Amino acid sequence: MDTTDNLKLTALPSSSSSPPSSWDVFLSFYGKDTRRNFIANLYFALDQAGVQTFRDDPSLEKGEEISKGLCNAIRSSKKFVVVISENYARSPWCLDELVEILDCKRTETQVVPVFYYVNPSDLRYLKGSFREALDFHKQSYPVTKIKKWRSALAEISDLSGSTLKKDADEQYMNYIIRITILCFFLVKNRNESDTIQEIVENVALQVSTKALHLEECLFGVDSAVEKMYKKLNIESDNFCVIGIWGMGGIGKTTTAKSFFNKYSEDFDISCFVENVIQNSKGSNPLLSLLEQLLSELHRRKDYKVPDVERGKRLLKQILSSKKALVVLDDLEQSSHSELLVWICNLFSKGSRIIVTTRDVNLLYRLRVDISKVYIHKVKELSPEESLELFNYRAFRKTTPPENLRELSVKIVDYVEGLPLISKHSVTLCLVGMNEIC
């Protein structure tokens, strides 16, 4: 690590204490970029977890080249966290440190990069500050060393890690810190990559879900959400299901999303699986649904399992121990009835599942096996609500221009209270309306 701009971290053992013969974790970072926030928090959290982490040692010789003592610390470390920041490559010390770390790397999971306000592709293709740094170093260092540094930057960019963006909030920063800690928490006793992967996935379940996108103007949704909230009685430890039923385009998904955005934070874990029928097409719709569920719960795209039984076991591990909110959007009886019953029986106390469907028989079938299944029928918008919705989408106000009032009423009569058709009607009619205006 670059030791210019040294900062005392009182949460860690003092430098006068005897260093261990080996380290659990070696942290590589450029102090001026990261030390006062991300690194300080990470150091403290690792120490609280009892993880022996290598830090600055004043007894190590300082200079442009990394010392023998630092090389020994790297070679005696079990795992490495490399925090790549904008000015990391400006430090020859950091670059030599990175080369030494990668030379000592024995497995892909031994080194975890954290890309701190940088894009991995900037390292891979030498862009921005990384190109500037190496161009500057060419004036003072031989070509062979420059090539080693460039190769090391490219190699670290290809390793699986975490990316911290400039607009990341404190919660996301804490999430990366927790992942890093849990990756290394069991290094003394269990080093298998499967264990590390399992721990990382478990942490991902605890990350707050970002709000689902909804249009600005919603009519009739808030009252429906409040009715659902009363039926579900979130404070209760009882498990229950609510089925949102209605014809296509009437607002089932919008209602479910609105409920999810408002109340998902009241649960330990939550996920929203959209367009189940559409995304479950193929030879094995049950496997597709399981993979969708696991992808959403693990916050990973395209989560794959070899077969249905393996998927069921993984899902059971997650749902049986946490208060969960799961929304399954657009189910049908023929493909999903049996699996839905099975999924409902996995949930722990206090969990809730919301299902949207055009097929009310799916919900009646579910009532045979599950004691508490509430059915919420989404009603068409009233003529007044339909007109206000159409006008807002077309004109950004609830009343139309006087010369378009009659046309607006006719269009609203045509869509018969269906919000989705109203939306498409706006798109089709706007050009003609603008010409009239």
C-alpha torsion sign, points 45, 48, 51, 52:
positive
The SS3 call for residue 16 is coil
Chain length of the chain: 437
Find out whether 123 and 98 touch, Cβ atoms under 8 Å: no
Matching residue, tokens 């059915």: 375
Matching residue, tokens 């080194």: 111
Measured between alpha carbons, how far is residue 381 from residues 210, 387, 397 in Å?
Answer: 29, 9, 18
Find out whether 318 and 351 touch, Cβ atoms under 8 Å: no
CA distance 408 to 385: 13
Which two tokens mark 221? 């949704």
DSSP string, 359-414: -HHHHHHHHHH-S-EEEEEPPPPPHHHHHHHHHHHHHSSSS--GGGHHHHHHHHHH
Find out whether 370 and 343 touch, Cβ atoms under 8 Å: no
CA distance 273 to 329: 6
CA distance 303 to 292: 7
Find out whether 352 and 297 touch, Cβ atoms under 8 Å: no
- CB atoms < 10 A from the CB of 25, how many? 22
CA distance 310 to 316: 10
- Of the CA atoms within 13 Å of residue 260, those in its CB half-sphere come to 30
Strands 240-245 and 373-377, sheet pairing: parallel
Find out whether 120 and 157 touch, Cβ atoms under 8 Å: yes
CA distance 88 to 74: 18
Which two tokens mark 91? 């430090």
Please report which helix (H) or strand (E) contains residue 93, including its range.
Answer: helix 92-104
Measured between alpha carbons, how far is residue 135 from residues 1, 49, 96, 377 in Å?
Answer: 21, 41, 16, 66
Respond yes or no: is residue 235 known to be catalytic.
no
Catalytic residue of the set 86, 97, 100, 388: 97
The residues carrying an active-site annotation are 97
